[in-house]
Amino acid sequence: MSSTYAEPFARIAEALDEIAAINPVFRSTTEKQDLLTGLAGLIARAQAQQLRVLAVADDVAEQTGARSTAAWLADETRDAHGRIRADARLADLLDQRWTLLGDAFAKGRVNLAQVRAISDALSSLPQDLGDDLLAKAEDFLVDQAAQLGPRELANLGRGVLQHVAPDIADQAEYQALLAAEDRASAATRLTMRRRGDGSTDGSFRIPDALAGRVRTYLHAYLSPRRRRLDTPFGPVEDSTPDEFGDLPIARRQGIAFAALLENIPTDTLPRHGGTATSVVIAVDYDDLVAEVQAAGVVETSSGDVITGGELRRLACNAGILPAVMGGKSEVLDAGREQRLVKGAMRKLMNVRDKTCTTMGCTVPAAFCDAHHPKPWSQGGRTSLKDCKLLCLFHHRRAHHPDWLTHHHPNGKTSFTRRQ
Residue-level pLDDT at 363: 81
198 occurs within a structural domain:
no
pLDDT at residue 321 tops 50: no
pLDDT digits (tens, 9 = 90+) for 341-365: 777 788 888 888 888 999 988 888 8
Global pTM value: 0.52
Residue-level pLDDT at 304: 64
Residue-level pLDDT at 413: 93
Q: Which domain-ending residue is among 139, 154, 183?
A: 183
Residue-level pLDDT at 281: 43
Q: Domain residues for 131?
A: 6-183
Residue-level pLDDT at 235: 56
Residue-level pLDDT at 274: 43
Q: Which domain-ending residue is among 183, 202, 237?
A: 183
d(C-alpha 265, C-alpha 286), whole Å: 28
Are 277 and 142 found together in one domain? no
Q: Which domain-ending residue is among 183, 208, 237?
A: 183
Residue-level pLDDT at 52: 94
Mean pLDDT confidence for 218-223: 71
Neighbours of 378 (CB within 10 A): 10
204 occurs within a structural domain:
no
Q: Which amino acid is at 353?
A: D
Are 402 and 303 found together in one domain? yes
Residue-level pLDDT at 327: 42
Which range is most confident: 57-61, 203-207, 367-371? Answer: 57-61
Between the alpha carbon of residue 344 and those of residues 37, 260, 267, 371, the distances in Å are 63, 22, 18, 16
243 occurs within a structural domain:
no
Distance of CA 350 to the CA centre of its chain: 28
pLDDT digits (tens, 9 = 90+) for 288-316: 555 545 555 666 645 566 676 666 666 66
279 occurs within a structural domain:
yes
Q: Please report, rounded to a whole number, the percentage of residues in the chain having pLDDT higher than 90.
A: 38
Question: pLDDT band at residue 320, thresholds of 50, 70 and 90?
Answer: very low
pLDDT digits (tens, 9 = 90+) for 8-58: 999 999 999 999 999 999 899 999 999 999 999 999 999 999 999 999 999
Are 170 and 278 found together in one domain? no
Mean pLDDT confidence for 372-378: 75
Neighbours of 391 (CB within 10 A): 26
Are 138 and 274 found together in one domain? no
Are 44 and 171 found together in one domain? yes
Are 282 and 152 found together in one domain? no
Residue-level pLDDT at 124: 87
pLDDT at residue 406 tops 60: yes
247 occurs within a structural domain:
no
Which range is most confident: 75-79, 210-214, 390-394, 395-399? Answer: 75-79
Residue-level pLDDT at 275: 46
Local structure of 138: helix, strand or coil: helix
Are 25 and 164 found together in one domain? yes
Question: pLDDT band at residue 337, thresholds of 50, 70 and 90?
Answer: very low
60 occurs within a structural domain:
yes
Q: Please report, rounded to a whole number, the percentage of residues in the chain having pLDDT higher than 70.
A: 75
Between the alpha carbon of residue 376 and those of residues 198, 275, 332, 393, the distances in Å are 26, 20, 11, 20
Residue-level pLDDT at 290: 56
Are 169 and 276 found together in one domain? no
Q: How many CA atoms lie within 13 A of 145 on its CB side?
A: 27
pLDDT at residue 331 tops 50: no
Residue-level pLDDT at 286: 56
Higher pLDDT, 389 or 283: 389
Which range is least confidently modeled, 222-231, 317-326, 359-368, 409-418?
317-326
Are 273 and 409 found together in one domain? yes
232 occurs within a structural domain:
no
- Residues sharing a CB contact under 8 Å with residue 349, sequence separation 6 or more, in sequence order: 341, 365, 370, 384, 387, 388, 389
To the nearest whole number, what is the mean pLDDT of the chain? 80
d(C-alpha 151, C-alpha 157), whole Å: 10
Residue-level pLDDT at 366: 79
Residue-level pLDDT at 4: 82
- φ, ψ dihedrals at 334, nearest 5°: -115, 165
pLDDT at residue 241 tops 70: no
pLDDT digits (tens, 9 = 90+) for 90-133: 999 999 999 999 999 999 999 999 999 999 999 988 878 888 99
B/e letters for 342-357, b = 16+ CB within 10 Å, e = fewer, are: eeebbeebbeebebbb
Q: Look at the chain and report how many structural domains it folds into.
A: 2
Question: pLDDT band at residue 319, thresholds of 50, 70 and 90?
Answer: very low
Mean pLDDT confidence for 283-288: 50
Are 146 and 21 found together in one domain? yes
pLDDT digits (tens, 9 = 90+) for 178-192: 777 788 888 889 999
Question: pLDDT band at residue 322, thresholds of 50, 70 and 90?
Answer: very low
